[in-house]
Every structure is written in structure tokens, then in C-alpha cells.
Structure 1
Amino acid sequence: MTRSSTSHADPAENPYVEEPPTDFDPVAELSREAAERQATLLRAAVREHDHRYYVEADPLIDDAVYDRLYARLEALEREFDLATDDSPTRRVGGEPLDELETVEHVAPMRSIDNGKTAEAVREFDERVRSGLETAGFDPDDLRYVCEPKFDGLSIEVVYENGRYVLAATRGDGIEGDDVTEQVRTIPSIPGRLRGDPPETLAVRGEIYMPRDAFEAHNEERRERGEDPFANPRNAAAGTLRQLDPAVVADRPLDAFFFDVLAWEEVQNASATRPTTNRGQFDAFDAFGLPRTDRIELVEDIEAAIAYRDRTGEDRETLNYAIDGVVIKVNDRVACEALGSTSRAPRWAFAYKFPPRTATTTVRGITVQVGRTGRLTPVAELEPVDVGGVTVSRATLHNPAEIEGLGVNVGDRVRIYRAGDVIPYVPEVVEKRSEGSYEFPETCPVCGAPIERDGPLAFCSGGLGCPEQLERAVEHWARRDALDVEGLGPERVEQLREAGLVESLPDLYDLTAADLASLEGWGETSAENLIDALDATRNPPLDRFLAGLGIPDVGATTARALATHFGDLDALLDADEAALREVDDVGPEVAASIRTFFDGEENRAAIAGLRERGVDPEPVEGAGEDASPPLDGLTFVFTGSLSVARNDAQATVERHGANATSSVSGNTDYLIAGENPGRSKREDADTNDVPVLDEAAFADLLADHGIDWPPA
């Protein structure tokens, strides 16, 4: 059975699966019967698209088309009161809960015996062979199935007639916390199963936060001034126990399933439980339940040990945390014959990796400065092996963490390392110093006063702080800001160390001769960077704002600020009340913007940029009630243009339009460069969408006061 052998929606019967139409009739013109039919089709199609995107990583449609299907389903359910418990629209989160209720598991969620040595695994094999021989089985027929042991939060999920009805944490193995509404928001867990499931199916899985999503989420927390999570497991566990499902929906959780707790069917004879543990994974595929691809059926225990060693070598490359592998007897009848103890099955064993904790001595404590000025203390350690990796530094998070631990130079501490997350210090195991480390009162880099905000500390030096400056220059050059090609982190560091860039405006004092004198620079690369910088002297206001690195201001908020205020001076003079009038700018973001612009060093940097001819273009016709010039229009681009396609898309989006990847009845213009795609031209003809070449597109933009090509 392949991963895509069954589906939530048959493309031959459901028009919203492949190349779905999105030019819908107004909701108000539909009868209730027509709305119900369309909502049923849309639910099935959205489930299919969710599965293809989150589980199979093979989407059928682009995000913009999906958003329109989802929005239509929401509108139908809202207007005609058609919402169902298993509708994909429930994923946004329901009402906050007063507390987590306790529920009994459908079947016990037992622990697994474990060991850290190959000898312990071989002893497990001997017990299994002896037990099977006693029960009348031929030990020579024994096969094992191997899988990763996930380091997340164990979960039970129950389906009745294919519909999601319950989720609970493991708890004590007999009862757990009811987290039905929280788990409902996780996109990879289906609200309705695919294929032909049994009447009751209870499955066991692991909730986790992917490593890349964990790092991105932690960065967002730091930017908001919140403490980062220590590791992905803590992040997943803390998230799932949130009482507000909307908070869970906003965090990047995922899941893998690995066991069947209950499989009950009375009338559905075709829904027969697999006879092997390996077959259960095939059933998960058929039902649309996510599972790991790292499953192996092996011939004997030595092959299982080899699987564990290979998995350990790949451990750091995986996008999820594991702490070992699980080895299971494959034959389910043999498993039942072996049975279980009061706490663990006799047919499974966890072969764990070396522990990722160690004890060492703190040699020193240094304080690092981030882009937003946040100060992070770091323990410099006597090098120690932690899980096969030599660790010499570990984060102490913030001043409050230091005070809570009571840690100082010379103390013996425990080091914890999970995956590729920065190691941290969870406890002092032997106090060898007096008191705690005294956090400095001034920035160790620039000497500016340190400001405390709850448990956190910040350098007040702003763009005048060399460390903040280096990160600020990197941010200024990013593609979603000023897009200065050739100004990566290594070159920024080189320019600062050479004394050529001591403030953001210094970038625009650079000459080709300055750069050509540095190691690794040639005449051509030097001239290219100068040309790239010159091209940013009159940037769009929103890109200028995004480039400044104002805390809590990304590209979307920068665009809203630019449209609302129109020019830089109006924004610089706006108080918090005026800032809160902008869409998506709440009290905290308004305060963050005002604090940034009130900073002496930040004001000096902006003034210095303007003195060097870097002055953002005002937004014509902007104001409190103004609409951007391309507001409401939708463009699709095909073929080769005089600029990169993503730059063309960014240009129209900056002026209020939508840029999508496929043509539909909602498309206003198809812009066709050289060698355009035939399918998009055909779709444009079908939907009566005007097709413009680049010259006509430039004329259209000129009519709206927009230059083409973009600078």
C-alpha cells in the first residue's frame, strides 16, 4: 500500500481537489441545500489538501488557492450555521478552557523497558526467544520492527467511525489530561480519517515541535522579550497544556503515530486489524495518520542493534528529537502470547542513546548582545563530553535565571543538551563560589547603561552599539529589507573590524577603493557592492522601515505603517495613540516602535542615513483613510521579465495588490514575459483574464503612479 493509495476526496467527484475553481457565487444567493452541498465538498477537499501538505509534503495547490477554499468554507458555515465538529475550520482553536479534565484511556498506555547497552538488548532478545518457545512458537521465525524513539509528549487519540472524538496525555498510563480541543488544532492530525477505518480506533503517538520550527518560534519569543523554551520537548509539552486552544493553534506542533491501542469493529468486516506491528504503519498511511518513514523490519537482534547505531549517526540531521530506538516483535499474535508486566510489554524494548547531561565547572561568564539589544549571559565551561559532543559553552538565558540558579564562576554545574539546541545549565550541583554572578550595569560592548525589563536585560546603546550594529547591518541587507547583494554576515564583520563601518550610515561612505584594499575583495566585487548600495538610496518607505530592524515590525507591519503615514517624518512624529490607529498595531507594538524612534542612537542613525542621501520615497495618496494604489487587484506572473519574478510580485504587493501563482476567475491580470507558460495563458483565456506583456504592465503601473522596473 502506498502513502497516497486512499484519499479524503476523489478528484473525479470533487471539483475542489485539482485545479479548483475559486470564482464563487455570492453566499447570499445560495439556497441552504446548495450551501450544504458545497460545504460538504469543500470540507473533504480541504482535508485532502491538509493531508497532502502536512503529512505527505506534496501539495496539490498553492497557498493562495487553499486560502480561498478555506475562506469560502468558513463563510458557508458561518452564514448557514453548517459547522461540524470535524470541520477543518475548527483548527483555529475554540473557547478557552477553565481547566484540563481527567479522562480514562481506552487501553493502558504502558512504559517500555529500556537500556543503554547492546548487552541489555541481547538479554531482551533471549527473554523473547525463551518466552516464545515456551508458548509454542518457533523462535527462528522471530522478526523485529525498529523505529525511532521520539522525545516529545505521548498522546492517545481516539476516532469513532473515522471521526476525531478525543485526545489525552499519557498521565499515569491509566488516566490522562483531556486535550481534545488543543490537539484538534494540530494540522497534521486529521479530523476525519481516510480510507476504511474500524468503528473505534485508538492510536498512540508523540506530539513534538520540529527543530526548525522550534528555533523560529524561540526567536519570535526573544523578539517579544519572552524567555525561549529550553528544548523542543518542553515547548511541545508546555504548549499542549495551554488552556486556550487558540494559543496551541498559533504554535508549530506536529505528530507521529506508532501504535494501536484499540481496534474495534462490529459490522465493518473489511476493517481488519493488521497482524503485524509493521502492518500497523501501513494502516496509518491508509487512514491519513502521520508516521515516521524511518521504519525497518529486521531479521534478528544484531540487525536491530545495527539499526540503532545508524539512527544514532543520523540523529543530528533529523528535524525532530529522538533519544533512542524502539525494537518490537513484529508478529502481533506472538506479542499477545508474550503479554505484559504491570508496567511494560514483554515484546518491546527501547535501546537508548547515551545521556545528554554531564557535570563540569564554570570557568567564566560572558554577556552576549543580540540585534535588538537583549543581553544573554553565557557560561564558559571546562570542556565536557555531552552525548558524544564536546561542550564548552552553555546559555544562562537572562539575569533572573542566574539569580534563581545562584550560579557563579567556579561552581560545578549540570549541563543539558537536547538535539542541536544550545546547551543550558539546569542546576548547580556543587557550590564552590560566593554568591551569584553580578550582572553588569553597562553593556560590555559599548558601555551604554543596561535597562531591565522584568527578568530580561537590554543594552540601551541601540545602533550605536557595535554588536547591535553588526546584526543591524546584516538585517538592513536582507532580501526582505533593502536587499543589498554581497553584504553577508562575514563581510559585515570584516567591514566593522576594519573600522570602515561603525554605524549604519557608514555603509554609504564606502568607496570601491576602501573595499578593494581588504582581503578577499577584488575590483569587480567592490564596485558591485557600491552599486548595490547606491541602488538603495531611495527605497520604498516600507522596505526602509523593515530594514531598520524595529522590534516587532516585520514586512507586513512596515507596509501598513508606510501606507498609513505616507512619509518618514509623519511616522517619526507619531505618538503611541496615532500608531495604534494602524491596522495590526496594538499597544505593545506601538510602544516598541515609539521606544525605538525615541532612542538617541537610532535617531542619529536615521539622520545620518538621510544626510548621505538615503531617503525613503513617500507613499503617494497615503493617509488614515487611504487605500494603496493597487488595492484589491490580483496579479499572476508567467515567463521571464526584466526583473526576477519575486521582485515583480513584491512590487505589486507593496502597493496593495495580491500576487498568486495560478490563474482563476479572481485574477485581474496575467503578466506574460518571454516564454510564458501555456497553461496559464489557457487559464486566462478560459476565465477572460486580460493578458499584458511587460510594456503594457509598466503602463498600467504608471497610471497608478508606480515606476517600473523597480529600483
Structure 2
Amino acid sequence: MAAVSDSDLADNPYVEDPPTSFEDVETIEADAAREQAGKLRAAIRYHDYRYYVEADPVVGDRTYDALFSRLQDLEEAFDLATDGSPTQRVGGEPLEELGEVDHVAPMRSIDQGGEVADVREFDERVRRGLTEYDGPIQYFCEPKFDGLSVEVVYEDGEFVRAATRGDGEVGEDVTENVRTIRSVPQRLRGDYPDYLAVRGEVYMPREAFTAYNRERVENGDDPFANPRNAAAGTLRQLDPAITAQRPLAVFFFGVLDASVDFESHAGIHERLPEWGLRVCDRARVVDEIEAAIDYRDAQLDARDELDYEIDGVVLKVNDGDACDRLGSTSRAPRWAFAYKFPARKEETTVRDIVVQVGRTGRLTPVALMDPVEVGGVTVTRASLHNPSLIEDLGVGIGDRVRIKRAGDVIPDVVEVVEGNGDGHFAFPDACPACGSQVERDGPMAFCTGGLTCPAQRERSVEHYASRDGLDIEGLGEKAVEQLLEAGLVENAADLYELSVEDLADLEGWGETSARNLVDELDAAREPELDEFLTALGIPQVGGVTARNLAQAFGSFEAIREAAEGGDEPAEGQVTLGEAVGEDTRADTFEAVPDVGPVVARSIVDFFEGEGNRAVLSRLLDHVDPQDADHSQGEALDGLTFVFTGSLSDYTRGEAQDLVERAGGSATSSVSGNTDYLVVGENAGQRKRDDAEDNDVAMLSEDEFVDLLDSKGVL
């Protein structure tokens, strides 16, 4: 196929000041459509070259998008799509698995070291190996990219294959995924060779990585640990459409095989851009090893300013003939050396601060940072915990901060070393996920959107089906995510409207698994009241509080009416104190054991939320929470128990149920109102200390069982 030169684009109307509005595709003739599509493809390839290789675009993003969209419309309307078209970067059909590819030439690793003595020793080895070489010994120096190495093959100028490095001899076939990367040309430019196999490094630009991690955190997903992991995971996706959605780029830096010869590494670096292959502009040729060391030090100083991660520099003997004389070992060339940077330690730069929305609506600020080693682990994010901590630290985007790992597990920002001068991060007044008002509760902040907030929605459905909720088998995290992505479920109420046919059509599902889940959901239509309350995920309401509410009110309707300003708990179930606040609804709930002002207010707010009420109304069309069972009477009436440690014959929940069904109370903390602390195996010391301070009797598990037996509970 003939090469396309810049002169061939002279009469192309889509190169300079292109139009962005077009005649409707339904009115254009087929021949005209074919001609226009050809010009659009050529122009888009040119614009890709100017953007990715020259870093000097001649059209804006919106203009480029308009041209690209027009080409898509023409190809779809007239069936004009070709494998080499720029539109094919959006990703093809999912792959069953990544196949294996034999490399055209070994993709060897290179020797490396982090000390200046290692570099000088490398230079000495090179000189010993070139004693009969007459030319000057120069070094070609370039950054060592922290990404994923790939082989990319072109035949007659057309992109035909790409593979990961693998073991150096055989790699994974990632052709369709690499095709989606915009800085990889589908067709070479200029006077290209008939055959070319190049080596490149796929990476995720730092700014794009931060933005992508921000999106993941805001959606409740775990962020990638570093850009390299993000690039590697993206490139190995079985669905090229997923790869196309993620911001990957590539630098080319070597030739594995070609139908032309190159005299030097600098020559390769000069020729690749002529063919449309992007190279790094920080490469240099130096005349001696000391200058190469200076080059490395300069890149170390500049690394934080780059939009890509580098972990050192690569030094190569520049002359091709000298490289041939030096040769290679079985694993590495003798003419190249990687001079590594020291690991970043403890101090790093905050690139972004995102606000993550938890299942209960709590907003947690998270700092996304340049990778830094803390306690032997590389971290790229750290918790800022709450708005008050941000204010206390005075931390903002762009600040240099010190990091520590709390308890050797969770990284925290502990100090601003150098501020950027713009002040601390301004915590949002609206939820980043749904736009609902943010309310402050002491140092913490909460979204008021409830079950209608997208960030809370997925986790609320997961919680509803989890062991802490209604324990619906077959509805784990991945299944819930799949149901939400398919548009089958938006909240817990939708679960009960799923059909076998809906589920069986999903990838990875079948008739049997679909039927099993529908049966599980049917079995969860009459849950115990406390289990249903726990499953709703009311902020601050866990299993113990849910059981106390169930015992106090007896029915779900009574709880809802109390929260909405209706009836109080049934007579004899709790003794209500005199209402002293303006909102008697919260006072009503404070009369329940183990419910304080914060929890009471949270319960009222949950039932008051318009979105929550709408979801509950639909949910109750499918679910009938069972009234609390008081059949065992009042054998433990007036007695309050707290449990610590693990029991052998009961779970903690089962033991608490026994107490509550017999008229007693089970709370989570020891106070002066506690009668017994039941101490199991591996019990914590704090509750035992509290029991001693409040003169509370402590029972072993056997003594607890004896007490229940003596009261006629067992």
C-alpha cells in the first residue's frame, strides 16, 4: 500500500480548519460517502500524529471529535468500516482468552543497579569488550519508563500484531487491546520499511491515572496501586472495549527486527517519529559515562514534573556496530544498563483529593498521591478521614506531605511539608455522587441522599443481601455489580422483581443459577424484624441496635410511624421519658436501650428522606417483616447484658437473641446500667476494665448458660 505523505493531505478539507457540520448521511450518495470516509480517515491519522507524536495539534478536541463521529456515522450507514480505520480503536468483540505469540526477536531484560559505582563498572566492562573497536564510545540515554513492555509489528505499513513481553521469548497476544491505544498508529507514515517490529512501553499518564483513580474511588471501587498496575491490568483485559475506555499511551524506544538497517540507537530514535511512532523527547547522546551519570541525576530531579512514571534511566552504547561486538548474555545485552532511582520514601505530592461515599452515606476524603514507599510498601492513596482533619492539617492539592502507615496497615497523611499556597482543600457542600446536601456531624460529614444516592445504592444492595443483612446466597459483590450494570436493579426492591429469564440472559448465568437466586429471594420475603432493620443499612444501626428496636417497637410499622411522627412504642415494651427536645420523634428512639441522640437522629433522618421512603414503599410490596417474637416472656426483664469475645456454643448474635427474646437487653458497651458482662474467648481488655470500673458482674460462657437455665430460658 502506498505511503501517505503530508503533501497528499494538501487538498484534504479535514486537515486545516475543517468543518464540524455535515450533510445528513441519509441524503448522501454511496460514492460520495466512500470518498468522504477516506479523506476523514487520512485526516484523523494526521491529527493523531500531530497530537501524539509531534505534541503540536492543529485542531481542538471538539473539532477532532466531530470528525471522528462523522466517520463513524458514514462507516455504519454505508458499511465502510475497515480493520485499519481509526474508528476501530473503540474495541472489538470480547476475547475468550489471550493467546500466545512468539516474539520476532528476544525481548531481553537489562542489567541494573542504583549506585554510581554500578554505572562506572558497566562502563569499564563496555570498554574491556571494545578494546579492538576504533570509534568513540558514546551512550544513548533515555528515561526508564515504569509501564508494560510490548512488541508491535507492522507489515507494509499496517499494524498487524502486538504482544506483551511475557518471558522474553513468548508473550500474550494483545493485538486488539493495543489497537485501541490512540498513540499507536494503525498505519505508518512516510517512507516506512516493508517490515518493522518495534518495542514500546505502554503506560497510563500520571494525570489520567489520577483522574481514573478518582472516578474509581468516587464509585466505591478500590483504586489501582500505581500507574504500572493500571496499565498492565488494562492491557490484559479480555474485552477490548474496556481497554478503549481507559487512558493508555505508549512510547517506542527500540527496533526488534526490520527490513532496513540502523547505525545507532540515536538513529532509531530519529527515524521512528518519521513513521508516526511516538518517542520520548528527553533522550540524549553523551560522550562519556560521567555525563550519563549527570543525565540520570537531572531526570531524578525532574521526575515529579513529568506526566509519566519513570524509575530510572537506561544507558545504551549508541553505535550499532559496537553493540554487535559486545553481544548479549542469555538474559541481557552487554551494551545496556538501567541506572535506577532510589525509591520514594515517606514524602510525596498530593495530586488530587477525592471524596468517597460509603454505604451509610459517610463522606471520606482520600488523597491520591505520587507513589511513595512507606514501611516497605508502595502507596498512592492515603485517608484524610474527615473534613476536620483536612482543616487541621491545612492540606491541599499540590502540597508536599509526609505519610505514615497507621498500625502498619492504613496510610495516613500526617503533615504538610510544603504547601502550594492555595490553602486547604475545600470540602464540598453537595454529595459528589448525587448532589444531595452534605450534613456535618461533629468532625464527620454525611450525604443526605440515602438509598437514592448512586454511590450508596450498590453497597446498600450488597449489604441488604449480605450475611449481615438477609444472607441471600448468590448475591455477592460481583453479582450485584452485574445486575446494576445491566439495569436490572437500582435498589433492594428491584431484587424481588427479577425473573429467571432476566438472570439467565446475563453472562456467566444459566437456568439453574438463575432459578436458585429467584428461590433464595422468595425465601427472604418474610424476614425477622431485626434482620430486616439491619439489612436496610440505616446509618448507625447495626445488629444489636436493630434487635433492641425490634424488641421495643414490636413491628416495622410501629418503628416507621414513630420515625414519621406517629405512634410511640407499644405500652410495656419501653418506658418513655419526658420529651425535652423540639423533635419528640428522636426522643422516642432514645428511650430504647443502646440508642443515644446520634443514633436516634439517624433513624429519624433515614425514614424522613423522600428517596428512602419511596424505596421502602416499594420494598414493603414484596417483603413482610415479621413482628418481634416475645414468646419466651419476661424471664430476663430488667437485665442488661454485654458480650465480649467469642462463644463456643452460640454466635454473639444468637446469644443476644436469647437474651432479648426473654425480655432482657443486649447492648454493645458497658455502663452503670449493665448487669452482666459475658466474657468469651479472646475477649478484649477494654470492656473488662469498664466492667470493673462500673462494678458489673462478669460471667464466663458456662456461667451465662447456667443463668439462662436457672431463669427457665433454656
Shorter-normalised TM-score: what interval? 0.5 to 0.7
In the alignment, the residues of structure 2 paired with residue 219 and residue 45 of structure 1 have an alpha-carbon distance, to the nearest angstrom, of 33
**1:81 corresponds to:** 79
Q: CA deviation at 1:62?
A: 2.6
**1:305 corresponds to:** 293
Q: CA deviation at 1:70?
A: 1.4
**2:207 corresponds to:** 212
**1:102 corresponds to:** 100
Report the AA paired with residue 473 of structure 1: D
Q: What is the SS of the residue equivalent to 1:289?
A: coil
**1:194 corresponds to:** 189
Cα deviation per residue 1:38-61 (whole Å; 9 max; x = unaligned)? 111110111112222334343322
Q: Give the conservation status (yes or no) of the 8 Å contact 1:394–1:424.
A: no
Confirm whether residue 346 of structure 1 aligns to residue 343 of structure 2: no
For residues 427 and 107 of structure 1, do their structure 2 counterparts lie closer, same or farther at Cα, with a shift above 3 Å needed?
Answer: farther
Query: Which of 321, 327, 332 is residue 333 of structure 1 equivalent to?
Result: 321
Q: What is the SS of the residue equivalent to 2:322?
A: helix
Cα deviation per residue 1:568-627 (whole Å; 9 max; x = unaligned)? xxxxxxxxxxxxxxxx99456678999999988699699999xxxxxxxxxxxxxxxxxx
Report the AA paired with residue 124 of structure 1: F
For residues 605 and 16 of structure 1, do their structure 2 counterparts lie closer, same or farther at Cα, with a shift above 3 Å needed?
Answer: farther
In the alignment, the residues of structure 1 paired with residue 372 and residue 117 of structure 2 have an alpha-carbon distance, to the nearest angstrom, of 22
Q: Give the conservation status (yes or no) of the 8 Å contact 2:225–2:379.
A: no
Q: Give the conservation status (yes or no) of the 8 Å contact 2:201–2:250.
A: yes
Q: What is the SS of the residue equivalent to 2:279?
A: coil
Q: CA deviation at 1:158?
A: 0.6
Q: What is the SS of the residue equivalent to 1:114?
A: strand
**2:42 corresponds to:** 44
Q: What is the SS of the residue equivalent to 1:166?
A: strand
For residues 426 and 273 of structure 1, do their structure 2 counterparts lie closer, same or farther at Cα, with a shift above 3 Å needed?
Answer: farther
In the alignment, the residues of structure 2 paired with residue 131 and residue 426 of structure 1 have an alpha-carbon distance, to the nearest angstrom, of 51
In the alignment, the residues of structure 1 paired with residue 185 and residue 171 of structure 2 have an alpha-carbon distance, to the nearest angstrom, of 21
For residues 25 and 333 of structure 1, do their structure 2 counterparts lie closer, same or farther at Cα, with a shift above 3 Å needed?
Answer: same
Cα deviation per residue 1:240-276 (whole Å; 9 max; x = unaligned)? 1110000101111111111111111xxxxxxx54322
For residues 602 and 108 of structure 1, do their structure 2 counterparts lie closer, same or farther at Cα, with a shift above 3 Å needed?
Answer: farther
For residues 97 and 391 of structure 1, do their structure 2 counterparts lie closer, same or farther at Cα, with a shift above 3 Å needed?
Answer: closer
Confirm whether residue 92 of structure 1 aligns to residue 90 of structure 2: yes
Q: Give the conservation status (yes or no) of the 8 Å contact 1:277–1:330.
A: yes
Confirm whether residue 234 of structure 1 aligns to residue 190 of structure 2: no
Q: What is the SS of the residue equivalent to 2:154?
A: strand
Map residues 604-643 of structure 1 onto 2, 5 A cutoff: none
Cα deviation per residue 1:657-711 (whole Å; 9 max; x = unaligned)? xxxxxxxxxxxxxxxxxxxxxxxxxxxxxxxxxxxxxxxxxxxxxxxxxxxxxxx
For residues 68 and 118 of structure 1, do their structure 2 counterparts lie closer, same or farther at Cα, with a shift above 3 Å needed?
Answer: same
Q: What is the SS of the residue equivalent to 1:201?
A: strand
In the alignment, the residues of structure 2 paired with residue 292 and residue 84 of structure 1 have an alpha-carbon distance, to the nearest angstrom, of 30
In the alignment, the residues of structure 2 paired with residue 94 and residue 228 of structure 1 have an alpha-carbon distance, to the nearest angstrom, of 26
Q: What is the SS of the residue equivalent to 2:131?
A: helix
Q: Give the conservation status (yes or no) of the 8 Å contact 2:217–2:356.
A: no
Structure 1 unaligned residues grouped into runs of 5+: 1-5, 265-271, 359-367, 380-384, 399-419, 429-435, 438-468, 485-491, 506-544, 554-583, 610-711
Q: Give the conservation status (yes or no) of the 8 Å contact 2:113–2:338.
A: yes
In the alignment, the residues of structure 2 paired with residue 236 and residue 15 of structure 1 have an alpha-carbon distance, to the nearest angstrom, of 36
For residues 259 and 184 of structure 1, do their structure 2 counterparts lie closer, same or farther at Cα, with a shift above 3 Å needed?
Answer: same
In the alignment, the residues of structure 1 paired with residue 64 and residue 339 of structure 2 have an alpha-carbon distance, to the nearest angstrom, of 42
**1:446 corresponds to:** none
TM-score (norm 2): 0.53
In the alignment, the residues of structure 2 paired with residue 76 and residue 311 of structure 1 have an alpha-carbon distance, to the nearest angstrom, of 46
Query: Which of 165, 178, 181 is residue 176 of structure 2 equivalent to?
Result: 181
Q: CA deviation at 1:79?
A: 2.5
In the alignment, the residues of structure 2 paired with residue 474 and residue 29 of structure 1 have an alpha-carbon distance, to the nearest angstrom, of 47
**1:162 corresponds to:** 157
For residues 54 and 221 of structure 1, do their structure 2 counterparts lie closer, same or farther at Cα, with a shift above 3 Å needed?
Answer: same
RMSD of Structure 2 on Structure 1 (CA)? 4.7
**2:54 corresponds to:** 56
The number of residues matched between the two structures is 437
Q: Give the conservation status (yes or no) of the 8 Å contact 2:94–2:238.
A: yes
In the alignment, the residues of structure 2 paired with residue 67 and residue 209 of structure 1 have an alpha-carbon distance, to the nearest angstrom, of 21
Cα deviation per residue 1:143-178 (whole Å; 9 max; x = unaligned)? 111101111111011111111100000001111000
Q: What is the SS of the residue equivalent to 1:473?
A: coil
In the alignment, the residues of structure 2 paired with residue 601 and residue 283 of structure 1 have an alpha-carbon distance, to the nearest angstrom, of 66
State percent identity of aligned pairs. Answer: 53
Q: Give the conservation status (yes or no) of the 8 Å contact 1:504–1:605.
A: no
In the alignment, the residues of structure 2 paired with residue 280 and residue 329 of structure 1 have an alpha-carbon distance, to the nearest angstrom, of 13
Q: What is the SS of the residue equivalent to 1:471?
A: coil
**1:296 corresponds to:** 284
Cα deviation per residue 1:165-195 (whole Å; 9 max; x = unaligned)? 0000000111100000001111111111111
TM-score (norm 1): 0.53
Map residues 143-154 of structure 1 onto 2, 5 A cutoff: 143-154=138-149
Query: Which of 267, 275, 288 is residue 287 of structure 1 equivalent to?
Result: 275
Query: Which of 109, 115, 118 is residue 111 of structure 1 equivalent to?
Result: 109
In the alignment, the residues of structure 1 paired with residue 239 and residue 402 of structure 2 have an alpha-carbon distance, to the nearest angstrom, of 29
Q: What is the SS of the residue equivalent to 2:199?
A: strand
More divergent stretch after superposition (122-131 vs 87-96): 122-131
For residues 309 and 25 of structure 1, do their structure 2 counterparts lie closer, same or farther at Cα, with a shift above 3 Å needed?
Answer: same
More divergent stretch after superposition (590-599 vs 334-343): 590-599
Rg (Cα) greater in structure: 2
Query: Which of 32, 35, 38 is residue 33 of structure 2 equivalent to?
Result: 35
Query: Which of 134, 139, 145 is residue 137 of structure 1 equivalent to?
Result: 134
Q: CA deviation at 1:280?
A: 1.1
**1:324 corresponds to:** 312
